[in-house]
Each structure stands twice: as structure tokens, then as C-alpha cells.
Structure 1
Amino acid sequence: MMGGRILGVSSHRRAPLDARWTLCETPAGAIETPAQLADVPATDWLPIDAPDTVAGALRRAGRWSLDGPPKWFDAGDWWFRAHFDSASSMPYLAFGGLAGECSIWLNGVLLLISDNMHVAHECAVPSLIDGENELLMRFASLDAFLAHRRPRPRWRAPMVEHQQLRWARVSLLGHTPGWSPPAPAIGPWRAIEWIDRTSVDVSAVRLHSELDGSVGRVSLSVELAPLGEAGRIETVTLRVSRNGVSYEATAAQADNDATYAVSLTIPEVALWWPHTHGEPALYTAELVVESAGGADAVIVDLGNVGFRTLTVDTADGDFALSVNGVPIFCRGANWTPLDVVSPAALPEATRAALAQVQAAGLNMLRVNGCIVYEDDAFFAACDELGLLVWQDFMFANMDYPADDEHFVASVREEAQQQLARWQAHPSLAVICGNSEAGQQAAMWGAPREAWSQPLFDEELAELAQRYCPGAKYWPSSAHGGAFPHQNDAGTTSYYGVGAYLRPMEDARRSGLRFASECLAIANVPQPATIARMPGGTSLRSHHPGWKARTPRDLGAGWDFEDVRDHYLQQLYGVDPVELRGTDYDRYLHLSRAVGAEVIQATMSEWRRPASGCRGALVWFLRDLWAGAGWGLLDERGMPKAAFHGLRRASAPIHLFLTGEGTNGLALHVVNDPVKPLAANVEVALYRDDGLRLQSSGRDIAVPAHGGDSWAIGEWFDSFIDVSRAYRFGPAEHALVSATLRDASGRTLDRAFYFPDGLSAHRRRDVGLEIAGIEKRPDGSIALSVSARTVAQSVYFDADGYVAEDEYFHLAPGETRAILLNRSPDDVRPTARVSVSALNAWTGATIEVPR
């Protein structure tokens, strides 16, 4: 079976199963065999255009939608039927993923039984009928499976709807009603393909790349066997190339064995770096197999490899990841499928989504144990774009039956298949046994010995080391302290700022080391997204239709909008309930700003040079459906204000200010890139009406991959209560602004500090202006925006466009260049662009050039 790092073999063919597909539902257990289907009326069979999840197929046929009445997919049995002509067949059928308890028949003969959606299968095809053949796939009712009596778990996982889901190797998507849409994956969720092999069979690939000083080494072992009339294998050559330069080594064959092994070295090898710290250099790898008889050489595509060292220091409760000897602050988010209904995405869609992550300055994504494994295109794109990956096995929160032989055997096969695919990907940094299983056990009150499970601490750890020795194995996403979710030891799910309503200062006070997930807030999307929700823009946040898409913990008396409202009141000093009732649009604008301000402030705090935090991954990059979900992006990838806040805090060169109480104000500069930074910083104090009271500047030097901090009090000739900690009298300045410029005067970053906090008060006018508007050939709009006085949380109104940045602050007299890109939504572009600020009643509007 092709898999692992084998992306293609030149003498092999693959083609999708071209068939006429139909789908029907039958009562659970009512029909067990193909012969019994004769009693199903022909009208019960729905023509579908391709194999997909049940929900995906029904959606494409117009029979179901996330926006329509809910359907309980787990109640019945689902049958997929394919009719195809034998002329298009090949010797093997491959099933990339079968979600649910599945039985497959070909022309009435049982071909395959599968009960793990994360395992791929390949079947030799028996003799076919001349003319039309029938493939039948039955996905049995999950409800019926869960109804079987089994031992009770040692603890409960409140987020799942049925505790015995721990026995089913299915995704938790669709089974966690507090946060995922009611669309569980059932059916053939990955490709069904014909496979034909000639010349040579390729299997059992073990590929490893490593770095020894300046020398790169690629090690490969593989099993090869001649097929059919092919002659014996004469030579096997490993070829590794970059920029037109190739390195080759000949493999040696083990005695009386089909195994070939080879090791190749590359002097002065180009290193792979996370994109924030350097170039993610890659080499192509391929195997050239030459056989006796003069046949064409067979080329085995092994994809790209990269060379880097990766270490994780866990001494004294740390979790400090270094690449090529350089400490990396890992910032990013938890990845979610691009389409929750049909989780298998097209490669080009995956790459575009990852390019958006890279452009935002994020350098790590976590594929958490609640969702699904991503395909080869995901890792290939992460390698290319310089994005680190924290990869969970698909286990979360529950007490899995690790003493059941069938379950463990299935998990072992699942893990080996996934690890074989992940091997030698330089982007793969952490392999994690599960998501929060030990934490859930501890929080439920299970005894300490239940917090660790041999499946995760031993078996998966051993497999990970065997296949992927260049990645760090970690037993659980929350692990390492006196209890699993201790903030200042190991890794944790940090929700101090967030669900636990701790003050913003808790970001520092907690002593956080590494947040595998954090900062879950119900982020309000843009108006275009709200318009796609059932009820459209008339829907209000307290309406049941809105609340149905607001994430919550099952059984809790609050949801994550209550969390956001808490910080709205803390940051802006207004009652969210009163504001929502009297000025709903204002409530939405402030709510959007909350996500941006909270995430930017906390992530910047964790990036301080003196901070002990090594990384933080926001819980959910992208929403699963339109609504005020945890996502930084909506379900189509459109940025929310929170995304812009994280992007600003994640810039490779980042300037920010922190209040240090009676110690005044501190200024910090972080310089991730490979070159030292020589720059100038100017600090200015402004009155509320825009008058510049004082300023001071100095040249700074920050080492490559480093950072530095300064006390702002040193930059002025006399004492100034810059942070307003002493409050000896009325405030003179309302804003402290800092600007970082390079030697040419180009602005690299800006930072703002409001001594008296953010204000919900509005002036009549802050002098916002739009100038230099230009419509570009690609349909985007370039413009500049400026303000006469302090402009707080500047945002745009431009139907059909998406702002490159918004909910940012403007200092008096400052001008920002902004690009408005065309929205992928089918919305007629506006003829006018408006800009507003949260602290002003009036904004500015300008016509868009034709």
C-alpha cells in the first residue's frame, strides 16, 4: 500500500473511482446485507455527485444545510452505492478514510470492514463483471454502537454528549454540542481511488533527516520488490537536490532481503528555520530504481526534506523549544478543518489558509486531538512556509479503553500510518499523545494514578520515537506540573485571562510557561459574516439563534460571550448588558475591539524578553460555522478584529509598552530575524486634544534572535509619571506613543499605551481623513488614513472588501497606509469607503475610483 513519505511512483497509476453514486438511510440494524437492500424503494436512493461525508453529500444535493433544521445523523445506517464499468478498473481499491463502523461489498462479496476513521485501507479487487459493477458501503448507526453495554469510564468528559464515545475512533467534531456544529463525519471522508502498480513495489519507507554541525544527513530504508515481468533490481539511488545541485548515494541491499538502506551527506547544508527566524530551506528527495532488462528507471517521489536541530528544554518545569540552537517563541493558534462538514480540503485551499497564517507572523499551529488528522498537503505547505506543527494524536479528554485488545490494535495501526506520513517533515516539532486527558481526569477528581495512561506515556511515545526521532514527544497537551493544568510548569490550557475571568495582569502573574491553548473568547465577526447567519443582520446576540453558535461548556451557567462581556466592562468601564440594550451596533464594535486588545496585550506580555513564557497557541484559528465563535477568522477565513490583534503582537520585529506600576513604563523590542537590528525609537506623550507634550528618542541595537527592554523614565530629563501610577494630580497626557524606525526612517512597528486605560467616551470628531485612494488592477484599494487627535480602534466599512489591518490606534498626526483586498464573498463592491474610530462620533467617507 502506498503511503508514508511516498508521494508518487513513476510506474504506478492512481485514479479516482469514477462511478454513479447514490445514498440512502435505513433504520439502525434493519438491513445487514446487500441482498436485503432489494426491499428499499428506488425513490429512497438519492443521487449524489461524489463520495463525501453524509452531511457533505446531502448539502451538495440541497437536502440539508447547517443553516436549516438540525438532523440527527447518528440515528440510522447510511448506505453509499456506486455503479461503475469494469473497463475503468485497476487491481487495487484504496479508501483514504471511512468515518464510522463500515462494511464494504463489491458485487455482493464482503471486501472490507473498518471501524477507525483515521485508518486508510487498500484492497485487492477480485474479478469484476463485464459491464456494470456495484460497490456498497454501509456505515452503521453510531447510536446503536454506543448503546452496547461497556465498562464505565473512571471520569466524565463534560464536553462530549456521550461518554462511551471513548470506544469509537471517530472525530469529536459534531459530538461536542457546546462548540461544534451538528454535522458529525460519517461516510467516505477521504478519496476512493484505483491503484495499479507495475515494475516495482515500494513499501516500508523510513526516512530521516538530521543535522550534524554544518553537515546534513538523509537516512533511508525501504522495501522494494520487482513486479510482473520486471527484471531484478540492479541499483537503488537516493537523490537529494536543491537549486539545481544534486547529491546522490547508492543503497545497499540487506542479505536475502527486499530491504535497501542508504545514508547521504550534504556539506554546508542550508538550514530549515521557522519563517519568523530565517529561511525554511528545503531539498527534494527521490529514489531512483533501475532494473535489469533496460526498462526505464522508476522514480519514487519522497517529497521535501529539511535540515534543522530541534530541542525542548523541560528542566525545572520549562518547555523551551529551540531550532538550530536558537530559542523560538512559538505563537499561533489551534488549527481547525477548513470545512467542518467535509473535512478533507483541496491542497490549494490548505496552502492558501496556511499562507494567511504565515503572513500574520504566526509560526506554530496545533492540530488538536478533538478534530481530524490533516493530509500530506498540510505538512508539505507547513514545510514550505516555515510553520512549526504541534500534532496531537486524535484523543481528547476521555478515559480511553487502553486495556481492550481490539481498540489498542486499531490505535496502533492508526498511529503507525500517521507517523509514517509525518516522518522527516522539518515542520513537525511536537507530537502529543492527547488533548487534556490527564487534565480532565484531575479536574473530575480521579486519583493521581489515573492522570497518566500507558497508551500515551509509553506505547505512542515509543512509536513516535521510532518513526519521528526529530520531533519532541509529549504525553498530553496539559502536562508537567503538580497537577496537569498548572500554569507555571510544562504545558497547559491557559484560560486565566479568559474563561476564569482573571485580570489582565494574570498573564504575567501566572508564570505561564507554554500554552498549548489559550485566550478563548467569543469573537464577534464582521457584518458580512453575521449576514450569513440564520436571521441575518437583524439577529441579536441574546437571540437563541445567535446563542446556538456561541461556544460554551456544557453544564455551565455561562458561555464565552459572558467572558467577552466581562473584559468589555473591565477594559472600557461600561455595562455590556445596558449597552447592548441601548446601542447594539456600538456594543458589537466594542466587543470586536475587546478580542483585539486582550489578545494583543497578553501575547505581547508573553513575548517580553524577561518573560518565562515560551509559547502560546490561541484556541481556534478559524470558526467552524458563521457566528461569534472562538475563531480569529470566520468560517471562510475572513479576519476578525482579534486576528489583527494577534498579528500585531506576533510581528517578527515587535515593539510594545507595558505598565510596570510604580516602576513606570517599560519599552520592549523583540527581534526574531537572523540579522541584528539597528533602529531608532521615538516616544511621545500626547494630550487628549492631540497636542504633543513631550518626546524623546534614542538609537537602539538589538541582537539577532534577541530582544531588549528599557525603562522609559531614563529617556526623559525629569521625572514624568508616564504610566500614571502615582496620580499626584490630574493627567496631562492621554496617550504614550512609541515608534520604531529603521536607518532609512521606515516605520517598523508602533506601540500605544493609554495611562488611564481604554475609554468608551466619544469625542465629536478626531479628525479622521482618507487620502491617496487608488484602485489597483487586481481590484484592491490602496489608501491612507490619518487623524488629528488620538484615534482609538480605527475600523473600515467597505462592502466587498477586507481590510489588511483594522482596529488599530492612530497617534495625532500619524498616517497609515492600508490595503483593502477584494472579499471572496460574492458581494457587490461598494462605491464608498468609510473609516471610523471607537472614540469618535464622526468618521470619514470617500468615493472609490472607477
Structure 2
Amino acid sequence: MDGLPRRGALPARWRLCATEPGAPAPGESADWVPLERPLTAAAAWRAAGRWSLDGSPHDFDAQDWWYAAQVDGAALQDMVLGFDGLATLAEVRLNGQTLLHSDSMFLAHQARPAALVHAGANELLIRFASVQAALQQRRPRPRWRTPMVAHQQLRWMRTSLLGRTPGWSPPAAPVGPWRDVWCCPEDQAIAWRLQPSLVAGQGQCAVELRAPAGWARDLVEAEFVLRGPDGAEQVRPLESHGGERYTAHVTVAQPALWWPHTHGEPLLSTAALRTRSRSGAVRTLGLGTVGFRQVEIDRTGDGFALRVNSERIFCRGAGWTPLDPVSLRSGAAECRAAVGQVRDAGLNMLRLAGTLPPEEDHFYDACDALGVLVWQDFPFASMDYPFDDAGFADLAAREAAQLAARLGHRACVAVLCGNSEVEQQAAMWGAPRELWQPAFFHRQLPALCAQHAPATPYWPSSAHGGAFPHQADTGTTSYYGVGAYERPLDDARRSGLRFATECLAFANIPDDAALARLPGGLATRVHHPQWKARSPRDLGAGWDFDDVRDHYLQRLFDVDPARLRHQDHDRYLALGRLATAEAMAAAFAEWRRPASGCAGALVLQLRDLWAGAGWGLLDEQGDPKACWHAVRRCLQPLAVFLTDEGGNGLAVHVVNDTPLERRLVLELSAWREGDVQVARAERPVVATARGGCTLNAIEVLGQFLDLNHAYRFGPPSCEVVSARLLEDGREVATALHFPLGLAPLVATRSRDLGLAAAVDITGDGEAVATVRTGRCAVGVHLDVPGWQAADDHFHLAPGASRQVHLRRTVAGAVLAGQVLALNAAAAVPLETQP
């Protein structure tokens, strides 16, 4: 059940103390830390100035943590007391008496403490027992191992792996209250569940309420109200089923549909409970929003694709991580802004992996409202979980039922997935095939989802299908052919990828402002221990993801990364930024072309967890990296791509995900010797709604040119090919292709590209920069301290220009800076227009 009408924070004075494992409750003379509100131990110590991610590490699992709250009896009498998340081994006491126990971070609890409440002061005490001490208990060993964690018996602990995975997450294991501690009057403790569905074009929405005895005694009317996006209301009276249960059901003949934002409008209806008492008082209680949509998994040809409202969706996005990996909390406005950033970049799916806890309600609210799909793993990842232990299996089932019921009405939740890479890890470790698919994920969990979330498809594991779970051309997989496995860029096509639940992991270098937040600041070099401490890696591996990035840097630019780093570290960083951006762009160009069998690809991580070169497309504060800009350009609903088809020449792919037909003009041009145009042609293109088309470049030009230097009859006919899509004379998408690669262009830095940039102030903290070039400019970067560019690290064709929106991010920052290109000998100043 969801929701309580007058649920609020428990009015209390909180404090925190750490003790050795098993020690008695600390007394008044102990080292108590006052708290403004319940927080994880790491977040509380950070707020008190006792610890930070940049300081000495602390093992929060090594101690017992005690949270004490002084509460007035009037605040507890006749109340429901709620605990939405206790990490992890918790005992809650009120005035010395045990109120509840919890062995799972992922279970929410409610208690009615009236019998234990005193008239005056009351002490609520929560003890979080040491996870490290609990791990010392002798238990059966796992049948396979995972390199993700240092202690394999974490498989017994129902807690997040975030903070407990050296090599990819900061050392801040979540211990303590990580979700709200709340209270609500017992006589108003109404819980409800919405169940929307779309069947044969009709919208159905059922509501079930659980209300305290006597709730309806003073009511003459109680109605379920569903208001559509157009304001029209459907109203049905609540039907009593005796006792505390009430239901109602609404049918909408032709409902406005919810779509992912790339393919339509995410239209929502608002649900409410409206009551009228004998005194005539009318009250309305909001129950939330619902979206009418149908999501199906399409397994045609052993693949995997999502169909929303019968339309096949190319799902593109990234793995979501908590905005604050220490507290695991965020504000509603902050979270909505982060999801809005995702939407504006053309991404339409976020994945919450099994290594992470589920998110707060306002995350799902934002995704519902903004049209961003969610792939939700249940919190199981990689390990051999002991489901043959009855107590563990029961705990896991209760967690799963709560989560499925909580998310079952969400329009945005497109997939409920049993786990992250359990099948894959078992297979890779060499476990027998019969152990790859535990019954919990293949029988019990799908049954729970069918009961509690019938409108949301279930999938057993993030990597599932084929002869082995990480087979790319069947089902879903974690794809790292381009990436950790250092395959050539054309493996994006050769692999036959069908759906990547995670992919394209590199140690992506952020801009200098983020590097300055490393413990050693900008003086920290790539080989330094402070840099390496934050470079993602698998435990026990003899390489890290800096090495993966360097592999592609060498392939793309034909330079020795170690020698370049030795001679010119800044140049090394600049090429490293562009290397991962180019690799991602090349992969998405292959996967989004109309003939591709790929139906989705989610980059491993949206955002870094702390400052450094992490897996994120964004740094830890949400600021873009070069790879973010590259992906954003590739993933817009209307896009154009160029791919090298060998002897078949260059292909031009136009993709239109929008629900409208688009009448466009395709402009194709080719240059050599920097600025000599050797070909140009235009032709009209009709991009069908939610469709695409592929053209041969020679067909567009009307004459043969070896545009991709496939035949090699002589010198290359061109060095740069440009495709532009124009709509009503305005450029809406562009793509560049370099037949000889980028290496020749960046090997020699030109003294005169004709690069120039002028900026116009358009508002308070807003400006537009117009960047122009005479010759091809590679990796154009706007360096404007205190301002953020909406587009950056892009290429410009000869004679091209681009307008880039700038937004002030540092109060009082002067609009001054420079523009650089990787093939330019010097930066050019940003000229402010009078």
C-alpha cells in the first residue's frame, strides 16, 4: 500500500554515537553527535565535520551505531510510527522495550507504539549492529565468487553493495536511517494502492484503500476521482468490503496515453479521494498520478525490445546512481532537475541496478512527469544468494513484494528485473549451468510481480538469454566489446547487440573544474595514487578503466598515451576526453541506424559518485563531460548518422522518433585539404513518424566519389564528409565522418583554422556564443570559467558555425574565456559583442 495523508517527520531531537560491536547502549557521557534529522552515519559525521570522502577512510560497517531521539509523549500517543529504511541490522526500542527488528535495508516498517508511550519524555533508541561483525559468523561458502566485493558473505546481508565495492564506489557504506522516520495519527492512517492498465484501448484504474476502523462512520459520501489531462473527471463511489477495505474502479474509453518523451507526450491523470462528512465538510486527498500505457517485451528472433503502446522503442540512457552517495537522499527539486537534464539530452531510460537501493518517490514522480522510462532491478547483484535458507528466502520475498507494490502503478517503470548479472557471474565463474538461474528469480519473483505489478513486464536478470548470459546477439546483456574488452569500434555492429542493460564503460575524464575537486587538485596527474584511488576497476584485475580509455586513445589518435602523458599532460587529458566521446558516438551511430537489430543501450553510469575520472557521462555534481555532449548529439529524437559500409560506400541514416512526420532537406558535403569542397548536394527527405530511412551517399551526390577511401585508387578524395538535416532552412541535426580517421587531423596543429567566437548576452546569466571556423576544427571546446556550455567538444566542418547557449554557474562570473580546437595551434579569445 502507498501513502498516508498526514504523514510527517517525527518531531524529535536526534543524536548519534558509535561503539564497539556488542557494547551496551552508550550513556550520557559518551561521544554523542547531535543531528538535525536522521541520516546515515557517514552523512551525519560529514555534517559534523568528522569525516569526508576526501579525508581518511572510515569503515562504517566496523562499529555499532546508536541513534537516540527524545520525543514528547503527545507526539507519539495514538500514532503510527514508520521507518522507511533502516540499514541494515537494526533494533528499535522505545523506553527500553523492543518495538521492532529489521534485517533488511530494503524493508519499510510500521509500528503502533501506544502501549509503550510515557506521558512525558520518551526515548526512541535504534541500534544498528556492525555488519562486519555479522560477517564473521560461519556460514556455507558461495558456489561462485564475484570480484565486485571484498567479502563474499555479503550475500547473506540484505544491504546495498554501494559503498562496499572497492574499485567503483566511494567507501561510505550506508549504515543508519537512509529513508524517513515518520509518524501519522492512527485514525487517519489510510493506505492505498492504484492499479492502472490499458486493455484493448480502454484505460482501467482500480483503487484499493485500507482505512482504520470507524473511518467512514461520519462520512455520507466517499468517491474515487480520476481527472484526465484535459480536466475531465471520472467519479466512482467507494465500495465497502467490510472492516477496513474499500475499492473503486474507473474505466476511461479513450484515454490520453503516456509515452516516453522521445516518442510522444507523457500524459498523466490525477487520482484523488473525495469525501463529504455529515457536517457538510468536503475534503480531497491526493492519491498520486497514473499514466495509461501498455509496455510489452518483444522477443522476436530471440532479441529483446520494449514496445510501448505497440510502438518499438529504442531505449537509450544510463545507469542512475544516488545524487548523494553518502546520505542516499536528494531534494525533490534537485532530483527533478537531474531527470530533466536526462530528458533534454534525448535519453529516455534510466536503470537502477541491483547494486543500488531503489530511489525515493520523487525520483519516480519526475520520471513519470518527464517521460523517462525506468529499468528497475530488484536489489540483488552478482552473488550466489542463499535462497535455500528459509529465513533469507522469506525476507527476500517480503522485500520484493513491497517494492513491486510500491512501483506497480508507475507509468515510467517499464521493466522489473530480477537481478543484476547473477546469471552472468555464475556462468563466468564456471558454475554448472543448472546454477545459473535460481528459482527465486525465475519462479517466485515473477509470480510476486504478476500479483503486485501486473501492468509491468518482468525480466529475470540484466544479462539473460542465449547460450551464455553475456551473449550480445540474444536477449539482454552487459556489453563491453567496445570498452573493457578493447574490441575495435566496429564490434558495436559485429556483435549483433540486441539490448545492452549496461555498456560503454570508460574512465571518462571530466573538465578541469571537476579535476580541481580531487584531493590533490589540478596538480594531480593520472598516474598519481590520488587519481588512481578513484579510477574504476575490478578487484584483483591487473588493469583499470584508465587503461581502457588509453587503448582507444592510442587507436583513434595513433599516439603512445604513456609518452604523451609524459610530454604534455594537458594534451593527454584533452585527447582522452575526446577518445571516449568518439567511441560512444560511433557505437550509438551503429545501434540507432534503421537496419540495426539493437533495441536499446544504457551506458553503465550517468553520473560519477565522486570527483575523478569515473564511469559517468556527468561528473559528481552533474556537470557534462565530453562524452555527455557526444551522446546527447547522438540520442536526440531526430538525428542523422554516417557509417562506413566498406565497398558499399558511406550510408546516411535519418532517424525520427517523434510522433510527427518531418519534411527535411539533407545536405551532404565533402572537403579535402582543410577547406577545399569537392562535393555538395541536397535532396528532400521525408522522415516518417517514429521511423527512419537509410540512403547511400553516392545516391545523394548523383556521382561516384570514394568518400570512405574504400577503393584506394589514389590519394583520398576527401578528409571530411558532412551530413546536415535542415527543416525550414534551420539545421536540426548534423553528423561528420572522417575517412582517414581523426589522427591525421590532430597530428599537426594549424596556426590558422580561421576559428573565431563571438558572444551575445541574452539575459541575466544567459548568453549565446557563435563559433565559426574556416577549416575543419576538431574537438572544439569553450573554456569560459564560471559558465557552462550547452554543447561542447564538437567538430565543425569547413566554413561551418554553431550557436551554443551559455549559462552562468558561478555567481558573479565574468563572461570571458577562450575557444580551443585540438587541431589548432592556439586558443582564440571569446569576443563579447557590444
Q: With structure 2 as the length reference, what TM-score do the two structures score? A: 0.97
Task: Say whether residues 1:408 and 2:397 are aligned partners.
Answer: no
Partners in 2 of 1:768 and 1:804 — Cα distance?
Answer: 19
Quote the Cα distance in structure 2 between the aligned partners of 1:533 and 1:230.
62
C-alpha contact 2:223 2:235 (8 A) present in aligned 1 = no
Is the partner of 1:532 in helix, strand or coil? coil
Q: Choose the corresponding residue for 2:379, options 384, 394, 399.
A: 394
Matched residue type, 1:421: R
Query: Equivalents in 2 of 1:72, 1:349: separation in Å?
Result: 29
Per-residue Cα deviation, 1:810-838 (whole angstroms, up to 9, x for no partner): 11111111011122xx5762452211111
Mapped partners of 2:170, 2:693: distance in 1: 45
Instruction: Give matches, 1:837-848, under 5 Å.
Output: 837-846=821-830, 848=832
Moved more, 433-442 or 344-353: 344-353
Distance in 1 (alpha carbons) for counterparts of 2:544 and 2:579: 16
- CA offset at residue 225 of structure 1? 4.1
Confirm or deny that 1:356 pairs with 2:349.
Answer: no
**For the residues of structure 1 that align with 2:833 and 2:355, how far apart are their CA atoms?**
47
Instruction: Say whether residues 1:475 and 2:464 are aligned partners.
Output: no
Q: 2:578 aligns with which of 581, 593, 609?
A: 593
Q: 1: distance between equivalents of 2:833 and 2:139?
A: 68
- Deviation per CA, 1:546-571: give whole Å up to 9, x if none: 00000001111000010000000111
Secondary structure at the aligned position of 1:243 is classed as coil
What SS is found at the alignment partner of 1:748?
A: strand
2:12: which partner in 1?
19
Deviation at 1:228, TM superposition (A): 7.0
Structure 2 CA distance for aligned equivalents of residues 122 and 221 of structure 1: 19
1:96 aligned residue: 84
1:730 equivalent in alignment to 2:730: no
Matched residue SS, 1:157:
coil
CA distance in 2, matches of 1:224, 1:104: 26
- What is the match of residue 122 of structure 1? 110
Instruction: Give CA-to-partner distance per residue, 1:409-434, whole Å, 9 cap, x none.
Output: 22122112211211221111110000
Following TM superposition, by how much is the alpha carbon of 1:258 offset from its aligned partner in structure 2, in angstroms? 3.9
**Residue number in structure 2 paired with 1:246:** 233
The question of whether the paired residues in 2 share the 8 Å contact of 1:226 and 1:233 is answered with no
> Residues of 2 paired with 1:831 and 1:266: CA distance?
53
What SS is found at the alignment partner of 1:832? coil
Which string of whole-angstrom CA distances, capped at 9 and with x for unpartnered residues, describes residues 179-199 of structure 1?
Answer: 00000000011111121143x
1:554-607 CA-to-partner distances (Å, cap 9, x unmatched) read 111000010000000111111111100001000001111112111111012100
Residue 605 of structure 2: SS of its match in structure 1? Answer: coil
2:251 matched to 1:265? yes
Q: Which residue of 2 aligns with 1:751?
A: 735
Once the 2 structures are TM-superposed, how far is the Cα of residue 346 of structure 1 from its aligned partner? 1.4
Match of 1:798 in 2: 784
Match of 2:559 in 1: 574
Instruction: String of CA shifts for 1:741-785, please: whole Å, max 9, x gaps.
Output: 01x1010101100010012322222111112x2224331221110
CA RMSD in angstroms, aligned pairs only: 1.8
* Matched residue SS, 2:402: helix
Alpha-carbon distance in structure 2 between the residues aligned to 1:225 and 1:97:
24
Residue pair 2:374, 2:415 contacting (<8 A) in 1 also: yes
Q: In the alignment, which of 107, 110, 122 is matched to residue 95 of structure 2? A: 107
**Aligned equivalent of 2:767:** 781
2:825 aligned partner, one-letter code: W
Answer whether contact 2:481 2:491 (CA < 8 A) is retained.
Answer: yes
Distance 2:220 2:393 in 1: 38
Q: How does 1:616-765 map to 2 (within 5 A)?
A: 616-742=601-727, 744-759=728-743, 760-761=746-747, 762-765=749-752
**C-alpha separation in 2, matches of 1:281 and 1:717:** 45
Match status 1:829 vs 2:813:
yes
Equivalent runs, 1:338-487 vs 2, <5 Å = 338-487=323-472
Query: Could you list the runs of 5+ residues in structure 2 that have no partner in the other structure?
Result: none
Question: Using the alignment, how far apart are the partners of 2:670 and 2:832 within structure 1?
Answer: 35
In 2, Cα distance between equivalents of 1:295 and 1:402: 55
SS at match of 1:143: helix
SS at match of 2:788: strand
Matched residue SS, 2:616: coil
- Which residue among 797, 801, 806 is the counterpart of 1:820? 806
Aligned partner of 1:157 in structure 2 is 146
**1:593 & 1:229 partners in 2: Cα distance?**
64
Which residue type is aligned with residue 487 of structure 1?
A
The one-letter code matched in structure 2 to 1:842 is A
Q: CA deviation at 1:201?
A: 4.6
Query: Identity over aligned residues, as a percent?
Result: 49
State the alpha-carbon separation in 1 of the partners of residues 833 and 704 from structure 2.
50
TM-score (norm 1): 0.95
Aligned length: 829
Give 1:838's aligned amino acid.
L
Residue-by-residue CA offset, 1:621-678 (whole Å, 9 max, x unaligned): 0000000000000111001011111111101000010000111100000000011111
1:139-154 equivalences under 5 Å are 139-154=128-143
Match of residue 211 from structure 1? 198
The residue type paired with residue 841 of structure 1 is A
Q: Quote the offset at 1:243 in angstroms.
A: 3.1
Contact 2:354-2:378 at 8 Å conserved across structures: yes
Residues 1:301 and 2:289 are matched in the alignment:
no
* Closer, same or farther: CA 133–202 of 1 in aligned 2, 3 Å: closer
Distance 1:45 1:202 in 2: 37
Give the Cα separation in 2 of the matches to 1:253 and 1:135: 37
1:30 to 23, 42, 48: 23
The residue type paired with residue 823 of structure 2 is N
Counterpart amino acid of 2:360? D
2:264 to 265, 275, 278: 278
71, 81, 99: which one aligns with 1:84: 71
Give 3-state SS (helix, strand or coil) of 1:442's partner.
helix
Secondary structure of residue in 2 paired with 1:621: strand
SS at match of 2:195: strand
Distance 1:382 1:281 in 2: 12
- Change beyond 3 A, Cα 1:165–1:473: same
Letter in 1 for 2:329: A
Q: Is the 8 A contact 1:601 1:649 kept in 2?
A: no
In the alignment, is the contact (CA less than 8 A) between 1:226 and 1:232 conserved in 2? Answer: no
What are the ranges of 5 or more consecutive residues in structure 1 without an aligned counterpart? none
Conserved? CA contact 2:17–2:32, under 8 Å: yes
Q: Distance in 1 between matches of 2:229 and 2:735?
A: 41
2:502 is aligned with 1:509: no
Runs of 4+ in 1 over 6 A off after TM superposition: none
Q: In structure 2, what residue type is equivalent to 1:261?
A: T
Q: Which moved more, 1:776-785 or 1:213-222?
A: 213-222
Paired with 2:519 and 2:444, the residues of 1 have a C-alpha distance of: 46
CA distance in 2, matches of 1:181, 1:467: 34
Which amino acid in 1 is paired with 2:665?
N
Q: Which residue of 2 aligns with 1:68?
A: 55
> Residue type of the partner of 1:223?
R
Secondary structure at the residue paired with 2:406?
Answer: helix
Secondary structure of residue in 2 paired with 1:136: strand
* 1:833–1:848 CA contact under 8 A, matched in 2: no
CA distance in 2, matches of 1:567, 1:281: 42
**Cα separation, 1, equivalents of 2:226 and 2:830:** 58
Structure 1 Cα separation of the partners of residues 815 and 660 of structure 2: 44
Contact in 1 for aligned 2:706/2:716 (Cα 8 Å): no
- Superposed CA deviations along residues 493-538 of structure 1, whole A, max 9, x for unmatched, are 0000000000000000000000000000000011000101100000
Letter of the 1:751 counterpart: A
Is the 2:229–2:256 Cα contact (8 Å) retained in structure 1?
A: no
